[in-house]
A and B are shown apart, each in its own frame.
Chain A
Amino acid sequence: MFEYAPAPESRSVVDIKPAYGLFIDGKFVDPSDGGSFKSINPATEEVLAEIAEAGSGDVDRAVRAARTAYEKVWGPMPGQDRAKYLFRIARIIQERSRELAVLESLDNGKPIKESRDVDLPLVAAHFFYYAGWADKLPYAGFGPDPQPLGVAAQVIPWNFPLLMLAWKIAPALAAGNTVVLKPAETTPLTALLFAEICQQADLPPGVVNIVTGAGETGRALVEHPGVDKVAFTGSTEVGRAIARSVAGSRKKLTLELGGKAANIVFDDAPIDQAVEGIVNGIFFNQGHVCCAGSRLLVQESVADRVLESLKRRMAQLRLGDPLDKNTDIGAINSAAQLARIKELSDAGAAEGTERWSPPCELPDRGFWFAPTIFTGVTQAHRIAREEIFGPVLSVLTFRTPAEAVEKANNTPYGLSAGIWTDKGSRILWMADRLRAGVVWANTFNKFDPTSPFGGYKESGYGREGGRHGLEAYLNV
């Protein structure tokens, strides 16, 4: 590999406070029982800030603030004015994008080139897109006078902290709801900076409330009787628990959960492009992607060529300092996630598959996992069935298109899938048969605010993005 001089992005652009309170009713406040936890930089294990932990009383305060704002201010406000606030937020995000990108990489561990070039542009675009809907809801196809639901409880994961916030808050506010959002406990910092942006935009108090904490805080929020809508992105296990907890209530629920996507490579695919797609599919964001292409299905006749090329390409991936602009693979987000990845990978090796990683030096401190592939994998192996949520690829082979479909669909999940072939009719034939909410043909891991995203089967229900994404926040 080429030796590159270090090219770190400066962290001086962002000013991290030693401690953060909860953002309730437009102000940062202390939690009532004074609990707190630390958010660390997963690349160095350095403590970044002390974060308030919201108890059920704090959650209640936030829900009440959201209710009051909904009834008094945001609900009655003309859509045109709601739109202007959202446009304002989109603009401030663009203006402060460097600061947000650096903070995201510090708190999450993802490479700066991803937070800078993927996350932040998509965050701003998402607010910009939904801003435009706020005064056009009667034209969205949900009847002449669609109404908001009220107060939305939103719980988001740590893999794309600010992007998931945007996916939740932008459509909710555009539709006229107010929100209480809980960011993940390992990545709360960009949500708290977003709270400052809400202040800067003069967003009316209580329209957006941010409560930080772990699972207990999330449970208190989704189970609060004062919320009308629950939106969750995260594991299928927690999604199931939330679906049970809202049973029998009036709460509208949308869930975006796990995945085990098949990335299917046919023998007529341009191999180099397909390999780029495979690498992007599983190693983008350290594989912390619910729609990651974690199962490579490669046609038997080209399996050796694809694997050889894939290994050569993997040897070029640069793992290390997330703030270095040349870094391809950053840090695993937490010790707990690293343990989960190790456990499943060890199970893969123990079950008789063949494990391979390129020579890759891991830093001494922080949480790291080398890009890894497993060959000789069958559908019965745990690494082919369970979501690993890390830079680990399971390689399986197939002979016929029908077999590829059968194997791709042989999972309780159904979030995404990839197809690589030069034959157009085959793409469309495959796309019809794959039970997945997003199908990338000759590309992978592409996102856009206009494009609906969400799963079939146990990957959840409801869609985020596009006109479809509004439905989750309207009383239809």
Chain B
Amino acid sequence: MSERVAVRKTYKLYIGGKFPRSESGRSYIVQDANVALSSRKDARDAVVAARAAVKGWAGATAYNRGQVLYRVAEMLEGRREQFVALGVPGEEVDAAIDRWVWYAGWSDKLAQVYGGANPVAGPYFNISAPEPTGVVAVVAPERPALLGLVSVIAPAIVSGNTVVVAASPAEPLAAITLAEVLATSDLPGGVVNLLTGKISETVPTLAAHMDVNAIDLTGVADAGLAAELEIKAAENLKRVLRPAPADHDWFADPGVTRMTTLLETKTVWHPKGV
């Protein structure tokens, strides 16, 4: 009996909840697979999808967002072996799952921890609450490809932002497989959009894009490129997360700066009286 011929997977982009090829029709060979080589147009399409998703995702209840993030953890747990087969160490997959769980719990705590009543000196009700900044462009760290990616996506979307993520160019397969997890986790299309290919090709477009509110340069290893991107980001005063140090420990407690940098504080006043 002849051996069964395997069905191979086509690795594509993840934009607006769909898996399109690059509009440029290009791909590159990496990790023994053909992976889409995103163009500047793909980056712009991804921003359009991310913007379209802001209203629904930011407008969802914090409880709902928390459940969706927890659902991502459930789905990832179920696909653990698939990531191990791609070469992701088991403990990294476990840490990535746990990270989704950690952030899932933040969704309905942020407003209490980072907002609250302000005791102004006058007869006014005054309250501050955090809100998502909007569309965030993210450069995922090169490695660890899965845990690093989860560690930059989750803190951005937990508060209601939507993201366009440039995946690790050297190890994109875990990223695309994570997109398949997201697509089956009740996460609305467009909340996470994933680009594979060259950072130098897509990220300058995202950094200069006037409909992007913030940029996370975590995965930009080249200091010169990072500075150039930060200069582009200044055009519409994007909120900026600067590159992580090369020795950053992705397994450690992530802290809150990734979340808070991508939040806006809104303060509402109203007089008291009869």
Contact = CB atoms under 8 A, between A and B. Distances in A.
Question: Are A and B interaction partners?
Answer: yes
Interface in B215-240: 223-224, 226-228, 230-231, 233-237, 239
Interface stretch (A15-23, A240-248, A304-312, A343-351): A240-248
Contacts of B7: none
Contacts of A448: 118, 120-122, 126
B264 A437 contact: yes
A243 B267 contact: no
B235 A240 contact: yes
A141 interface: yes
Contact of A247 (B119, B121, B227): B227
Main secondary structure of the interface of B (DSSP, over half): mixed
Interface centre among B113, B224, B227, B255 (most CB of A within 10 A): B227
B117 to A, nearest CB: 9
B265 interface: yes
Contacts of B233: 243, 247
Contacts of B239: 461
A255 interface: yes
B251 to A, nearest CB: 19
A427 B270 contact: yes
B234 A240 contact: yes
Contacts of A460: 237
Contacts of A453: 267
Contacts of A28: none
Interface stretch (A210-218, A326-334, A438-446): A438-446
A437 B129 CA distance: 10
Interface in A45-89: none
B86 to A, nearest CB: 34
Contacts of A458: 236-237
A130 B257 CA distance: 22
Given A247-B230, A446-B124, A441 B269 contact: yes
A451 interface: yes
B226 A248 contact: yes
A3 B224 CA distance: 66
A243 B121 contact: no
A395 to B, nearest CB: 23
Contact of B237 (A437, A461, A466): A461
Contacts of A257: 237
B269 A457 contact: no
Given A437-B264, A448-B118, A443 B124 contact: yes
Given A248-B230, A446-B124, A460-B237, A452 B264 contact: no
A437 B228 CA distance: 29
A155 interface: no
B266 interface: yes
Contact of A452 (B113, B128, B133, B226): B128
A141 B269 contact: no
A451 B122 contact: no
Contacts of B122: 446, 448
A78 B30 CA distance: 56
A440 B269 contact: yes
A201 B213 CA distance: 43
B271 interface: yes
A322 interface: no
Contacts of A451: 118, 120, 126, 128, 267, 269
Given A244-B231, A244-B234, A439 B118 contact: no
Interface string A444-476: 001010111110111011010010100100001
B84 interface: no
B118 A442 contact: no
B170 interface: no
A24 to B, nearest CB: 30
A452 B130 CA distance: 11
Contacts of A427: 270
Contacts of B269: 438-441, 443, 446, 451
A220 interface: no
B244 interface: no
Contact of A412 (B236, B255, B257, B264): B236
A120 to B, nearest CB: 14
B64 to A, nearest CB: 16
A257 B234 CA distance: 13
Contacts of B246: none
Contacts of A450: 118-121, 126
A454 B118 contact: no
A460 B236 CA distance: 9
A457 B270 contact: no
B268 interface: yes
A458 B237 CA distance: 6
A431 interface: yes
B237 A141 contact: no
Contacts of A265: none
A371 interface: no
B58 to A, nearest CB: 10
Interface in A216-265: 236, 239-241, 243-244, 247-248, 255, 257
A174 interface: no
A453 B114 CA distance: 14
Given A439-B266, A441-B269, A248 B118 contact: no
Interface in B91-141: 113-114, 118-122, 124, 126, 128, 133
Contact of A457 (B119, B223, B237): B237
A100 interface: no
B223 A439 contact: no
B268 A431 contact: yes
A436 interface: yes
Interface string A252-291: 0001010000000000000000000000000000000000
B33 to A, nearest CB: 35
Interface in B170-199: none
Nearest to B119: A450
A191 B79 CA distance: 63
Given A236-B237, A443-B271, A461-B239, A456 B120 contact: no
Interface of A: 125, 141, 143, 236, 239-241, 243-244, 247-248, 255, 257, 412, 427, 431, 436-443, 446, 448, 450-454, 456-458, 460-461, 463, 466, 468, 471, 476
Given A443-B124, A443-B270, A450-B126, 19 more contacts: A125-B121, A243-B230, A243-B233, A244-B230, A244-B231, A247-B228, A255-B237, A412-B236, A440-B268, A441-B269, A448-B121, A450-B119, A450-B120, A450-B121, A451-B269, A452-B118, A453-B267, A460-B237, A476-B257
13 contacts: A243-B237, A247-B234, A427-B270, A439-B269, A446-B122, A446-B124, A448-B120, A448-B126, A451-B118, A451-B120, A451-B126, A451-B128, A466-B118
3 A-B pairs with the lowest CB-CB distances in the bound complex, closest first: A248-B227, A247-B230, A243-B234
